[in-house]
Amino acid sequence: MRPAPGRRRQILDTAARVFAAQGYDATTVRQIADAAGLLAGSLYYHFDSKESMLDEILSGFLDSLWTRYDTVLAAGLRPRESLAALVTASFREIDRHRAAVAIYQKESRHLTDQPRFGYLADAQRGFERAWLRTLESGVASGDFRTDLDVRLTYRFVRDTVWVAASWYRPGGQHSPEEIARQYLSMVLEGVALRDSHRTHDPHD
């Protein structure tokens, strides 16, 4: 008899929350079982190891993210619209997989040394290529400034977007789409008014 998919999903969601809160190395199978309302031995009916749970959490998140990214990149959008769509897709994935994003950010650097998690380095290289191509296309087409350092811009946008996983809470005041819109406004338009070059007396 195979384990129920719904129960398996619940255990993975629980494990993701515990890993995100405590760190992978500091988390035991017993702690995950307790949080899921199971005996530790019962957990092995669903997963053969803590590592298997981590693998499924991270690969599931990355598969979902790449499905969204591939849709954007295949849509034939202009670079500005493509950049906006990639940012929006990223925030939607933070909304859906916040714990997995936190784990990825904390753990991926040392996990890439393990053969089982080699796909994490491949994913990182893929992200970089996708974003850099979008920015480079924007510079070439005139959508973006010609003096733009695309690699520096990529790092800025990447870090600005994904650090949101540290404070974002699903169901909060702002939807992922609204947060993306605000971030894009700041990235693409800046925060200063166009006539703000004038000097103002702070005592006026």
**pLDDT at residue 100 in the model:** 95
Residue 163 falls within a domain, yes or no?
yes
Residue 11 falls within a domain, yes or no?
yes
Are 32 and 131 within one domain?
Answer: no
Are 127 and 60 within one domain?
Answer: yes
Are 155 and 168 within one domain?
Answer: yes
Are 44 and 21 within one domain?
Answer: yes
**pLDDT at residue 192 in the model:** 75
Mean pLDDT by 10 residues, the chain (204 residues): 73 96 94 92 90 96 96 96 96 94 92 92 94 96 93 94 87 90 89 59 54
Alpha helices in 23-49 (DSSP H): 29-36, 40-43
Residue 197 falls within a domain, yes or no?
no
What CATH number is attached to the domain comprising 11? 1.10.10.60
**Amino acid (1-letter code) at residue 133:** R
**pLDDT at residue 132 in the model:** 96
Are 32 and 78 within one domain?
Answer: no
Are 122 and 182 within one domain?
Answer: yes
Are 86 and 151 within one domain?
Answer: yes
**pLDDT at residue 204 in the model:** 53
Other C-beta atoms closer than 10 Å to the C-beta of 183 total 19
Are 88 and 123 within one domain?
Answer: yes
Number of domains in the chain: 2
**pLDDT at residue 179 in the model:** 94
Residue 201 falls within a domain, yes or no?
no
Q: What are φ and ψ of residue 144, in 5° steps?
A: -120, 160
Gyration radius from the chain CA atoms: 21
Please tell me the distance from the alpha carbon of residue 21 to that of residue 102, in angstroms, as a whole number.
9
Are 55 and 152 within one domain?
Answer: yes
What CATH number is attached to the domain comprising 160? 1.10.357.10
Element (H, E) at 134: helix 119-141
Asked whether the beta carbons of 29 and 43 are under 8 A apart, the reply is yes
Q: Which long-range contacts (CB under 8 A, 24 or more apart) does 124-132 make?
A: 126/66, 127/69, 127/158, 128/154, 130/69, 130/73, 130/86, 131/86, 131/157, 131/158
Q: Please give the residue range of the domain that contains residue 105.
A: 50-189
Are 176 and 81 within one domain?
Answer: yes
Q: What is the DSSP letter of 2?
A: P
